[in-house]
């Protein structure tokens, strides 16, 4: 139990350190994306922290298996480098027992990943979709910043306003460039504007005292219309894409849905905890290094192997979504890498046992001679 606690502590500390670094990198990248959405008017700035909080389970369900894989490599690699593993082997700790010890913290991480992928991550995706839907339902011009060109969600429409009266809901001195209709670009200028909602949930921006230009830049064939009042239809509140809807669906609801995309998502969620266990079995034999090679000698090949594993899982998931393969395709990938891990473990165990018996066999042969 002393050795088990020692190895578990080393693995969990390394896993936590690696996962924290990876999480900071991914969160930073996603935060930049959300800042871009806020600058484009797709998201209110005060919702950025909520969006990141809701997306954390989705980040962690992919980060933790990689963190565990690298944690086992680094922890056991240090033991080999400092000859602690030699002492453990001399005390009777075999390769199979090391694998069993490594599966202890791996099981804890797998349970956490299972909780994240089956419960918390869909809940966070649902909350994120609700926030985006809430932003779609509010006035698209509530997020406009005076004095800045901004692209509105739902089309190739760029808007500029000189001043904004938030209390009265009015805009002053507007510029709108619209190329989302498929025809000639349209440029609209107006002195004032306000929002108008119809009974059938249609949303319009009513412009007053302005000019509308329609034509191709550089072509003399264009139309100019001067108006007293002009209505511009705003993008309708749309639901999230199907992929986002599937990510937000509860796990049992995916099983009840039965579609190819739903079953791919269902098997993907079940695969992530298994991924954590299989990569641990791979990491134990791959962590064995020569002290002269250094602690990070096998880190790059191991990462390449992990990326290959994850890529094949993603390809199998895509094939299931397209209806080209059954849901068991993901489990065939797991079975292949599990067979590779067992081969590495038992091959090393075979050579280890052979090295232990070889001196006795040689001495017996000499005695007979």
Average pLDDT of span 294-316: 84
Give CA–CA dist 128/241, Å, rounded: 13
For residue 297, is it within any domain?
Answer: yes
- 50 and 162 share one domain: no
Same domain, 196 and 97: no
Last residue of a domain, one of 182, 204, 234: 234
Same domain, 24 and 124: yes
* Span 34-57, average pLDDT: 79
Distances (CA, A) of 37 to 32, 160, 328, 348: 9, 17, 38, 52
Q: Pull the structure tokens for residue 172.
A: 């002053």
Maximum mean pLDDT: which of 44-58, 133-147, 310-324, 341-355: 310-324
Same domain for 131 and 165, yes or no, is no
Q: Which of 194, 217, 234 is the last residue of a domain?
A: 234
Domain edge (last residue) among 205, 234, 263: 234
Report yes or no on 200 lying in a domain.
yes
Range of the domain at 49: 1-136+241-359
Structure letter (DSSP) for residue 231: E
Most confident of 98-102, 148-152, 162-166, 364-368: 98-102
Please indicate, yes or no, whether residues 109 and 5 belong to a single structural domain of this protein: yes
Structure tokens at 348: 């090393």
Do 166 and 120 share a domain, yes or no? no
Residue 145 lies in a domain: no
| Banded model confidence at residue 242, pLDDT cuts 50, 70, 90 | very low
Are residue 7 and residue 118 in the same domain, yes or no?
yes
Between the ranges 46-60, 266-280, 346-360, where is the mean pLDDT highest?
A: 266-280
Q: Is residue 8 part of a domain?
A: yes
pLDDT in tens, 158-213: 888 888 765 556 788 888 887 766 667 888 888 888 877 776 656 777 888 889 88
Q: Which of 95, 62, 111 is nearest to 286 (CA)?
A: 95
Q: With 70 as the cut, is the pLDDT of residue 311 above it?
A: yes
The angle subtended at Cα 183 by Cα 181 and Cα 184, nearest 5°, is 115
366 part of a folded domain:
no
Give which of 177, 12, 3 is closest to 100, Cα–Cα.
3
- The reply to whether 58 falls in a domain is yes
20 φ/ψ sector (left φ>0, alpha ψ -120 to 50, else beta): alpha
Residues 248 and 74: their CA atoms lie apart, in Å, by: 35
Domain count within the chain: 2
Q: What is the DSSP-derived secondary structure letter of residue 184?
A: S
Write 364-368 long-range contacts (CB < 8 A, 24+). none
Answer for the pair 235, 155: CB distance below 8 angstroms, yes or no: yes
| Distances 121 to 54, 178, 250, 313 between C-alpha atoms, Å | 8, 37, 9, 19
| Domain co-membership, 174 together with 70 | no
pLDDT band for position 300 (cuts 50, 70, 90):
confident
pLDDT confidence of residue 159: 81
Compute CA 35 distance to the chain's CA centroid, rounded to the nearest angstrom. Answer: 18
Which residues in the chain belong to E strands, given as ranges? 150-152, 157-165, 170-178, 186-197, 203-215, 222-233
On whether the CB atoms of residues 144 and 138 are closer than 8 A, the answer is no
Q: Does residue 143 form part of some domain?
A: no
Contacts of 238 (CB under 8 A, 6+ apart): 136, 154
Asked whether the CA dihedral 211, 215, 219, 224 is positive or negative, the reply is: negative
Judge whether 147 and 162 are in contact, CB under 8 Å: yes
Sign of the torsion formed by the C-alpha atoms of 163, 166, 167 and 170? positive
Farthest CA pair distance, the chain:
115
Helix (H) or strand (E) holding 328: none
The confidence band for 35, taking pLDDT boundaries of 50, 70 and 90, is confident
Judge whether 187 and 212 are in contact, CB under 8 Å: yes
Q: Would residue 367 count as lying in a domain?
A: no
Whether residues 328 and 249 share a domain: the answer is: yes
Q: Residue 247: count other Cβ atoms within 10 Å of its Cβ.
A: 21
Within 10 angstroms of residue 96's Cβ, the number of other Cβ atoms is 14
Confidence of residue 354 (pLDDT cuts 50, 70, 90): very low
Give the single-character DSSP code of 221.
Answer: -
Residues 228, 254 within the same domain:
no
203 and 349 belong to one structural domain: no
Query: The pTM is what?
Result: 0.69
Q: How far apart are CA 334 and CA 328, in angstroms?
A: 10
For Cα atoms 271, 274, 277, give the angle at the middle one, nearest 5 degrees.
Answer: 155
365: pLDDT strictly greater than 60:
no
In a shared domain, residues 313 and 199: no
Q: What is the pLDDT of residue 69?
A: 93
Residue among 30, 87, 82 nearest 55 (CA)? 30
């Amino acid at each position: 139990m002393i050795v088990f606690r020692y190895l578990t502590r080393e693995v969990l500390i390394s896993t936590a350190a690696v996962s924290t670094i990876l999480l900071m990198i991914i969160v930073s990248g996603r935060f930049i994306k959300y800042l871009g959405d806020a600058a484009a008017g797709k998201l209110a700035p005060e919702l950025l922290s909520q969006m990141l909080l809701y997306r954390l389970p989705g980040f962690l369900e992919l980060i933790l298996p990689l963190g565990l894989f690298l944690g086992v490599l680094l922890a056991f690699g240090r033991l080999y480098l400092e000859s602690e593993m030699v002492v453990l082997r001399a005390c009777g700790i075999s390769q199979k027992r090391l694998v069993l010890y490594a599966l202890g913290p791996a099981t804890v991480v797998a349970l956490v990943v299972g909780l994240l992928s089956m419960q918390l991550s869909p809940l966070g995706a649902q909350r994120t979709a609700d926030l985006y839907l809430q932003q779609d339902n509010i006035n698209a011009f509530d997020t406009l910043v005076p004095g800045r060109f901004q692209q509105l969600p739902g089309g190739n429409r760029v808007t500029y306003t000189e001043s904004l009266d938030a209390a009265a809901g009015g805009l002053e001195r507007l510029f709108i460039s619209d190329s989302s209709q498929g025809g000639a670009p349209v440029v609209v200028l107006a002195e004032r504007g306000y929002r108008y909602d119809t009974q059938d949930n249609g949303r319009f921006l009513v412009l007053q005292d302005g000019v509308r230009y329609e034509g191709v830049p550089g072509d003399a064939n264009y139309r100019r219309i001067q108006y007293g009042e002009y209505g511009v239809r705003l993008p309708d509140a749309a639901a999230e894409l199907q992929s986002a809807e599937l990510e937000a669906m509860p796990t049992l609801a995916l099983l009840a849905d039965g579609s190819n995309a739903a079953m791919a998502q269902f098997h993907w969620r079940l695969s992530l905890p298994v991924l954590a266990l299989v990569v641990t079995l791979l990491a134990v034999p791959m962590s064995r290094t020569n002290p002269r090679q250094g602690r990070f000698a096998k880190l790059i090949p191991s990462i390449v192997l992990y990326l290959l594993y994850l890529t094949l899982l993603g390809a199998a998931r895509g094939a299931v979504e397209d209806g080209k393969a059954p849901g068991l395709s993901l489990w065939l990938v797991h079975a292949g890498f599990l067979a590779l891990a067992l081969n590495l473990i038992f091959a090393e165990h075979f050579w280890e046992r052979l090295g232990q018996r070889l001196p006795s066999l040689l001495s017996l042969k000499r005695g007979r001679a």
